[in-house]
Amino acid sequence: MTTSGLLRKDQLERNLFDERRLIEEGVLKEDNPLDFSVNFQKLCDACRRGDPKLCQEMIQEGTNINAKDQYDYTPLILLLLESGALCERDTFQGERCLYNALNDRIRNLLLQYDYSKTTDPLQPLASHLVSLLIRDHPKTFDITVATPTESFRLHKFILSSRSPYFKSKLAQAPDTKTWKPAPTIPPQSFAIALKHLYLGEIPRDLGGGPGTGFTDSEILAGADRISKHLEIQNLSQLILDASDRRLARQRRQDEVEKGRDQLEQWFRENVLKHAIDVETSKADNIKWDRDNGIFADILLRADEDEDIQEEGEATDSQQQQQPATNALGIPISHTSHSRSPSRTRKPRRSKIYPCHKAMLIRSEFFLTMFESSFREAQDTPHLQIVSIDCSPAVLEIILTFLYTEKVDFGLDIAVDVLFAADMLFLEKVKAKAALVISSLGNGSAIAISPDIANGTETNQRPPQTNRASPLTNADPEPEEIDIYEILRAAWLTRVQRLEEFAARYIAYRLESFIDTADFADLVKESAERITRREETDSIELLDDIRYYLSERFRLRFEDAGLEEVMDEEAAVAEAMETSRAQASELDVQKSMTMPLPQWGSESASKISHDDGGGEISTATSTAPSSTTATSIGDSASTPPQFPDLTRDQSINAEALLASGAVRTLDGELAGDEFAAMAVDYQILLGKIDTLLEKLKLDA
At residue 373, the pLDDT reads 82
User: How many Cβ atoms from other residues are within 10 Å of residue 196's Cβ?
Assistant: 23
What number of H helices and E strands is found in the chain? 30, 9
Q: Which whole number is the average pLDDT over 66-80?
A: 62
Provide the residue type at 322 as one letter. Answer: Q
CATH for 9-111 is: 1.25.40.20
pLDDT at 619 over 50: no
pLDDT at 356 over 80: yes
Domain covering 277-307+320-330+347-414 assigned CATH 3.10.400.10 in the classification:
no
DSSP label at residue 152: E
Nearest CA to 90 among 64, 66, 115, 112? 115
> Greater confidence, 26 or 565?
26
pLDDT above 70 as % of the chain:
61
Angle at 477 between CA 474 and CA 394, to 5 degrees: 140
Nearest CA to 442 among 414, 403, 408, 463? 414
CA distance linking residue 113 with residue 84, whole number of Å = 10
Query: How far is the CA of 369 from the CAs of 358, 377, 416, in angstroms?
Result: 13, 7, 22
At residue 387, the pLDDT reads 93
Do the domains at 9-111 and 123-265 have one common CATH topology?
A: no
SS3 category, 92: helix
Average pLDDT score over the chain: 72
At residue 338, the pLDDT reads 43
pLDDT at 380 over 70: yes
Query: How far is the CA of 209 from the CAs of 66, 282, 466, in angstroms?
Result: 40, 61, 77
Range from 83-87, 338-342, 536-540 carrying the lowest mean pLDDT: 338-342
Q: Which whole number is the average pLDDT over 344-368?
A: 90
SS3 category, 154: strand
**Confidence grade of residue 241 (pLDDT, cut at 50, 70, 90):** confident
Provide the residue type at 85 as one letter. Answer: A
Q: Which whole number is the average pLDDT over 449-472?
A: 38
**Torsion-angle region of 225 (φ positive above 0: left; ψ -120 to 50: alpha; else: beta):** alpha
CA distance linking residue 161 with residue 260, whole number of Å = 10
Residue-wise DSSP of 180-203: ---TTS-HHHHHHHHHHHTTPPPP
At residue 330, the pLDDT reads 46
Length of the chain, in residues: 699
Q: How far is CA 70 from the centre of its chain?
A: 28
Query: How far is the CA of 233 from the CAs of 220, 237, 447, in angstroms?
Result: 14, 9, 62
At residue 10, the pLDDT reads 78
Angle at 681 between CA 677 and CA 686, to 5 degrees: 150
At residue 658, the pLDDT reads 60
Q: Which whole number is the average pLDDT over 378-400?
A: 92
CA distance linking residue 468 with residue 477, whole number of Å = 10
Query: How far is the CA of 298 from the CAs of 94, 325, 352, 602, in angstroms?
Result: 49, 18, 10, 112
pLDDT at 263 over 90: yes
Q: Are 513 and 519 in contact (CB under 8 A)?
A: yes
Q: How far is CA 6 from the centre of its chain?
A: 42
> Greater confidence, 249 or 72?
249
Nearest CA to 506 among 450, 546, 462? 546
**Confidence grade of residue 296 (pLDDT, cut at 50, 70, 90):** very high
At residue 62, the pLDDT reads 77
Query: How far is the CA of 8 from the CAs of 101, 128, 396, 519, in angstroms?
Result: 17, 43, 55, 65
Q: What is the pLDDT of residues 280-293, one digit of tens each?
A: 888 888 888 888 88
CA distance linking residue 198 with residue 120, whole number of Å = 16
CA distance linking residue 207 with residue 189, whole number of Å = 9
Range from 135-139, 292-296, 552-556 carrying the lowest mean pLDDT: 552-556
Query: How far is the CA of 175 from the CAs of 85, 156, 229, 268, 381, in angstroms?
Result: 46, 10, 21, 22, 14
Range from 48-57, 469-478, 679-688 carrying the lowest mean pLDDT: 469-478
Query: How far is the CA of 272 from the CAs of 156, 265, 268, 395, 598, in angstroms?
Result: 17, 10, 5, 11, 100
Q: Which whole number is the average pLDDT over 69-74?
A: 64
User: How many Cβ atoms from other residues are within 10 Å of residue 297's Cβ?
Assistant: 23
User: How many Cβ atoms from other residues are within 10 Å of residue 695's Cβ?
Assistant: 15
Range from 95-99, 266-270, 482-486 carrying the lowest mean pLDDT: 95-99
Query: How far is the CA of 554 from the CAs of 453, 558, 694, in angstroms?
Result: 20, 12, 28
Q: What is the pLDDT of residues 172-188, one digit of tens each?
A: 988 889 988 888 888 88
Angle at 591 between CA 587 and CA 592, to 5 degrees: 115
CA distance linking residue 388 with residue 393, whole number of Å = 12
Angle at 403 between CA 363 and CA 325, to 5 degrees: 120
CA distance linking residue 686 with residue 244, whole number of Å = 67
Q: Which whole number is the average pLDDT over 235-257?
A: 79
Q: What is the largest CA-CA distance in the chain?
A: 141
Max avg pLDDT among 290-294, 402-406, 604-608: 402-406
SS3 category, 350: strand
Range from 99-103, 345-349, 374-378 carrying the lowest mean pLDDT: 99-103
CA distance linking residue 698 with residue 407, whole number of Å = 43
Compute the 3-state secondary structure of the chain and give helix, strand, coil in percent, each to the nearest 5.
50, 5, 45
SS3 category, 605: coil
Query: How far is the CA of 246 from the CAs of 96, 258, 458, in angstroms?
Result: 18, 18, 71
CA distance linking residue 669 with residue 535, whole number of Å = 38
Non-local (6+) Cβ contacts of 576 within 8 A are none
At residue 268, the pLDDT reads 95
Range from 445-449, 535-539, 576-580 carrying the lowest mean pLDDT: 445-449
Q: Which whole number is the average pLDDT over 289-306?
A: 89
CA distance linking residue 320 with residue 318, whole number of Å = 6
At residue 298, the pLDDT reads 93
pLDDT at 318 over 80: no
Q: Are 146 and 184 in contact (CB under 8 A)?
A: no
At residue 328, the pLDDT reads 47
Domain ranges of the chain: 9-111, 123-265, 277-307+320-330+347-414, 441-580+646-699
Q: Are 355 and 298 in contact (CB under 8 A)?
A: yes
**Confidence grade of residue 655 (pLDDT, cut at 50, 70, 90):** low
> Greater confidence, 667 or 62?
62
First to last CA, the chain: 64
Domain covering 123-265 assigned CATH 3.40.1480.10 in the classification:
no
> Greater confidence, 448 or 537?
537
Non-local (6+) Cβ contacts of 419 within 8 A are 390, 489, 492, 493
pLDDT above 90 as % of the chain:
21
Q: What is the pLDDT of residues 482-501, one digit of tens each?
A: 899 999 999 999 999 899 99
Strand-pair partners of 301? 352, 387
At residue 360, the pLDDT reads 95
Residue 625 burial (10 A CB sphere; 0-12, 13-18, 19+)? exposed
pLDDT at 71 over 80: no
Q: How far is CA 163 from the centre of its chain?
A: 37
Helix 517-528 vs helix 673-695: crossing angle, to nearest 10:
60
SS3 category, 179: strand
Max avg pLDDT among 8-12, 160-164, 480-484: 160-164
At residue 129, the pLDDT reads 94
pLDDT at 113 over 70: no
